Amino acid sequence: MTDSRLPADTDDFSQVAPPRIEFIFRVRIFFELRQRFEPTTPMGGRVYVPPAGGDVRGPMLNGRVVPYSGADWARGRPDKCAELNAHYMLEASDGTPIYINNRGYLYGRTPDGVPVPPQVVATQTAPNPSGATQWTIAPDTYFVITPVFDTPVGPHDWLTRHVILGRGRRIPSPDHTVFDYFIVNPPKNWPPR
């Protein structure tokens, strides 16, 4: 279905080079509270999940998650996929404030990529008798985000002009979430000296 006004182009897309992706830092967050809007809202599911703290470690940023500096107000969809939408604060080890708005998708999926029924992941948020969260989650959970950042002009401002990709996973005992972040198409002189 080619637009005739456009020049002929390859039909062999196997040679298209993917963007460069490089690891920049890892954020680990305690999400102690997971408040669901029960039973549902007029527009679908909604949760309030504030970060209780955490750390930031890696080659390009070190610091902490500012406790109770915001939350994830993810929306639950009819197809059981959650649209993440978190707003909170990081603080670099040099004291710089960093605002993060994290958007993406979270759902347990089948080998074909379709969200699995909720009962499969039901124990994900239910505490066991000892008080710890059970983690019988779907074996292939999709948990990818593309955060947008804001931070003052200075050593960390590259965060405000690059697309960043993140991948999450949940860890039990103690219950926390790990996000690994990657820069897409970093500059030629990377990492900065």
Contact set for a copy of itself, span 142-161 (CB under 8 A): 142, 144-146, 148, 150-153, 157-158, 160-161
Site for a copy of itself contains 126 (CB under 8 A): no
Determine, following the binding rule CB under 8 A, whether residue 165 of this chain makes contact with a copy of itself. Answer: yes
**Using the rule CB under 8 A, is 175 a contact of a copy of itself?**
no
Which 83-122 residues touch a copy of itself, going by CB under 8 A?
Answer: 83, 87, 89, 93, 97, 99, 103-105, 107, 109-113, 115
Q: How far is the CB of 157 from a copy of itself (least distance, A)?
A: 5
| CB-CB contact of 182 with 166 (8 Å) | yes
Give the closest residue to 67 by CA, choosing from 30, 100, 27.
30
Q: Which of residues 13-32 bind a copy of itself (CB under 8 A)?
A: 13, 16, 18-19, 21-23, 26, 28, 30
Site for a copy of itself in 23-82 (CB under 8 A): 23, 26, 28, 30, 35, 37-44, 46, 48, 50, 53-59, 62-65, 67-71, 73, 75, 77-79, 81
Does residue 132 bind a copy of itself (CB under 8 A)? Answer: no
- Give the span between the Cα atoms of 66 and 20, in whole angstroms: 30
Percent helix, percent strand, percent coil in the chain, to nearest 5: 5, 45, 50
Distance of CA 95 to the CA centre of its chain: 23
Rule CB under 8 A: choose which of 117, 127, 155, 187 binds a copy of itself.
187
CB of 100 to a copy of itself, least distance (A): 10
CA distance 32 to 61: 24
The C-alpha atoms of residue 86 and residue 62 are separated, in whole angstroms, by: 20
* Contact between residue 185 and residue 164 where contact means Cβ atoms under 8 Å apart: no
What does the block give as tokens for 35?
């408040």
Q: How far is the CB of 79 from a copy of itself (least distance, A)?
A: 4
Residue 135, interface with a copy of itself (CB under 8 A)? no
What is the full DSSP assignment across 1-29?
---TTSPP--S-GGGPPPPPEEEEEEEEE
Q: Provide the H-helix boundaries in the chain.
A: none
Please, what is the minimum distance in Å from the beta carbon of residue 108 to a copy of itself?
12
Residue closer to a copy of itself (CB basis): 93 or 136:
93
Q: In the structure encoding, which two tokens stand for residue 186, read together?
A: 């970093």
